[in-house]
Structure 1
Amino acid sequence: MARTQFNIKRIASEDVTSWRSLREKLWPQATAEEHEQETKGILSQPERHLVLIAESAAGDAVGFAEASIRHDYVNGCDTSPVVFLEGIYVVPSARRKDVARVLCASTEQWGLSHGCAEFASDADINNTDAHTIHQALGFTEMERVVVYKKRCQPN
C-alpha cells in the first residue's frame, strides 16, 4: 500500500478554518455556531487542549486530532491526569496511510510531556467504525456504558 507524505503540526491561526471544516465532517450534528464556540474555547486553553492538523505534501488539511488533559475520573483509567482523545478524523482519500496513527502517537507524546501515564478515548456504543479504528490504534476496550438522565422536577 502506497504511503503519502504528510506533516503533523500543532494548530496555528491560519489552520482554524480547515480544522472547523474537518470537525463538521466528524460531528455533522453540531451547528456552525457550536463548532465556532467549541473551537474558541479549545484555543483559549493551550495548556489543557491539543489540536493537531495533518497536512498533505500540497499543504491541504487531511486530518486532525483533538485531545485534552483530564484530571477528573476517566472510565477505565487508574491514574490522573489522563490524556484524552476527544476526536480524530482523516479525510477518506488519506485513510490507511498512517495519518491517524501518527496523529495519535504525537498526541500520546504530548500527554507524556504533561505527566500522563494513560491515553484514553471513547466512542458511541453503536459506532463500530470508531471501535475498529481505536483497536487498530492500540486502544483496549475497557467498558461499555449507557448514560441516563432525568429532568429535575420541583415537589
Structure 2
Amino acid sequence: MKLKIEGDKGGSDVVEASSEDIGHYTDMALDLWPKSKAEELYESFRDIMASKRDKILFYRLGSEFVSFIHLSIRVDYVEGSESSPTGYIEGVYVKPPHRRKGYSAKLVKVGEQWLRKKGCKQIGSDIHLDNHVSYDFHIGMGFTEASRLIAFIKDIEG
C-alpha cells in the first residue's frame, strides 16, 4: 500500500511491507546485517509482519525497492527517552547507488507519522561507534546523541 507523507504535495513512493515483500527485505537486510543468515531474516520478517508493534516501510522507485526502514514500538526503557512508549529504528538501509537522495528521510518521516498515531512522542535508534555514515545520517535527521555505550562480554569458564 502506497503511503502519503504529510505535507508532501507530490505524493511519495513509500510503501508498507506486505507478506509478498520478504525477498526485497531479505536481500537488503543481508547487506545491512551481513553476519545474519537468510533463514533468520525470513523468520524475523514473518514475526515483524505479525506484530502490531513493528512496521517495515520500503522506498520504491518504479518497481525497484531501494530502501527500507524497520520501526518498532518499545515499552521498555530506551536510552535517552523521557516517555513510553518510544518509537525505535531497528534498521534502515539504502542500496549504495541510491544513497544521499533523501529516500531514508522520507521513510523516517512516514515512520514518525505511524509512531505518533501509536502514542509515541520520541524515536530512538542506535549505531556502532565506528559507523560514521550512520552517525551522519542520524545527526542529519535531527537526532541528538543521548549517550555512548560500549558493551562487554566474557565467557564463564567451567
Tell me if the contact between 1:6 and 1:99 (Cα under 8 Å) persists in the aligned partners.
Answer: no
- Whether 1:106 and 2:110 are equivalent positions in the alignment is yes
Which of structure 1's runs of 4+ aligned residues deviate more than 6 A? none
Tell me if the contact between 2:57 and 2:107 (Cα under 8 Å) persists in the aligned partners.
Answer: yes
- Whether 1:51 and 2:26 are equivalent positions in the alignment is no
Q: CA deviation at 1:123?
A: 0.3
Q: CA deviation at 1:72?
A: 0.2
Tell me if the contact between 2:75 and 2:85 (Cα under 8 Å) persists in the aligned partners.
Answer: yes
* Structure 2 unpaired stretches of 5+: 1-10
Q: Distance in 1 between matches of 2:34 and 2:22?
A: 17
Q: Distance in 2 between matches of 1:112 and 1:82?
A: 10
Q: Distance in 2 between matches of 1:75 and 1:151?
A: 26
* Structure 1 unpaired stretches of 5+: none
Q: Distance in 2 between matches of 1:122 and 1:53?
A: 20
Q: Deviations over 1:55-106 (max 9, x none)?
A: 00x2110000001000000001111000000000011222121101000001
For normalisation by structure 2, the TM-score amounts to: 0.88
Q: CA deviation at 1:129?
A: 1.1
> Which secondary structure state, in structure 1, belongs to the residue aligned with residue 13 of structure 2?
strand
Q: Deviations over 1:81-139 (max 9, x none)?
A: 00000000011222121101000001111110000000110001111111011111111
Q: Distance in 2 between matches of 1:38 and 1:109?
A: 23
Q: Distance in 1 between matches of 2:116 and 2:156?
A: 40
Map 1:1-155 onto structure 2 (within 5 A).
7-45=13-51, 47-56=52-61, 58-151=62-155
Tell me if the contact between 1:6 and 1:55 (Cα under 8 Å) persists in the aligned partners.
Answer: no
Q: CA deviation at 1:13?
A: 2.1
Letter in 2 for 1:69: I
Letter in 1 for 2:35: Q
The count of corresponding residues between Structure 1 and Structure 2 is 148
Q: Distance in 2 between matches of 1:114 and 1:138?
A: 21
Letter in 1 for 2:56: V
Q: CA deviation at 1:38?
A: 1.3
Tell me if the contact between 2:18 and 2:49 (Cα under 8 Å) persists in the aligned partners.
Answer: no
**Alpha carbon RMSD of aligned pairs, Å?**
1.6
**Seq. identity, %:** 32
2:4 counterpart residue number: none
